Amino acid sequence: MSATADVCVVIPAAGLGERLGLAQPKAFVGINNWSLLSLTIKRVLEIQRVGHLIIAVPADFKNEALDHIDRAMRESNKKIPVDVVAGGITRTESVKNSLLALDQLDSYVLVHDAARPFVPAEVFNSVINKLDQGFKVVVPVIPVSDTIKTVNEKDEVINTLDRSQLKAVQTPQGFARDVLSEIYATSNLKPTTDDAGLAEIAGINVSTINGSVESFKITTPFDLEMATSFMNRKQNGK
């Protein structure tokens, strides 16, 4: 491993994926014979600076996860240290448990959802470049194409938000290691849907880079169908 392999990637993969409606947890669902987890690991292994992986999975899937990790590493022809930890009830708890496995050598931590297997390598590298420039928290964003309205519990529209100021936020979300450890060390940790949300609560500046439409998150059966077509199209070189 190179001396500069100082980036740790945390992969929260402990969600049950109830909206997919399948028997196994979402990260273990397959597309063309590859689980979302192994596809995500293969992508992460393409990033040279990554020297450590921490993966949070449902407690009773730790052994199965090792098989998926092995397969991804054999296919990538790259082996780096991996810690597999038991996730929690919320994503926030899964990331918190993962951070207990951080190593002294990890300067930056990038948290990336197992449910976004097609994230381009350039997005990882852009996050790392911005951290290299001294930014402490960096997230990929893309413009929103729909008009966004807030709606009350009676299904009535309250107002329309100014779309020019709205962005959809993706992963990998990058952090200077100490900043991430500190925001997750708070005792009354409030579950958030992303990690940068905790930095915002702590009053820490969050910077952005351009994300990618290819980093779409697989949540519903329709997303899984889209993911399969997308993978087939890429394999055919289109």
Residue 106 or 113: the one with the smaller Cβ distance to ligand C5P is: 113
What is the Cα–Cα distance from 87 to 121, expressed in whole angstroms? 25
What is the Cα–Cα distance from 135 to 174, expressed in whole angstroms? 9
What is the Cα–Cα distance from 65 to 160, expressed in whole angstroms? 43
Q: Which of 8, 9, 10, 27 binds ligand C5P (CB under 6 A)?
A: 27
Q: Is the CB of residue 204 less than 8 Å from the CB of residue 136?
A: yes
The residue of the chain with the least Cβ separation from ligand C5P equals 15
Q: Which of 91, 96, 130, 177 binds ligand C5P (CB under 6 A)?
A: 91
115 is a contact residue toward ligand C5P (CB under 6 A)? yes
- Report in angstroms how near the CB of residue 15 gets to ligand C5P at its nearest: 3
Please, which of residues 203-232 interact with ligand C5P by CB under 6 A?
217, 219
Bridge-based pairing state of the strands 82-86 and 50-57 = parallel
Q: Which of 8, 9, 53, 56 binds ligand C5P (CB under 6 A)?
A: 56
Q: Which of 35, 94, 126, 215 binds ligand C5P (CB under 6 A)?
A: 94
Q: Which of 39, 41, 109, 113 binds ligand C5P (CB under 6 A)?
A: 113
Q: Which of 7, 9, 10, 12 binds ligand C5P (CB under 6 A)?
A: 12
What is the Cα–Cα distance from 165 to 152, expressed in whole angstroms? 22
Where do the DSSP E strands lie in the chain? 7-12, 30-31, 34-35, 50-57, 82-86, 108-111, 137-143, 149-151, 157-160, 167-169, 173-176, 207-210
The interface region with ligand C5P, picked from 82-90, 123-131, 139-147, 208-216 by CB under 6 A, is 82-90
What is the Cα–Cα distance from 194 to 232, expressed in whole angstroms? 29
Which positions lie near ligand C5P, rule CB under 6 A?
Answer: 12-15, 26-27, 56, 87-91, 94, 113-115, 217, 219
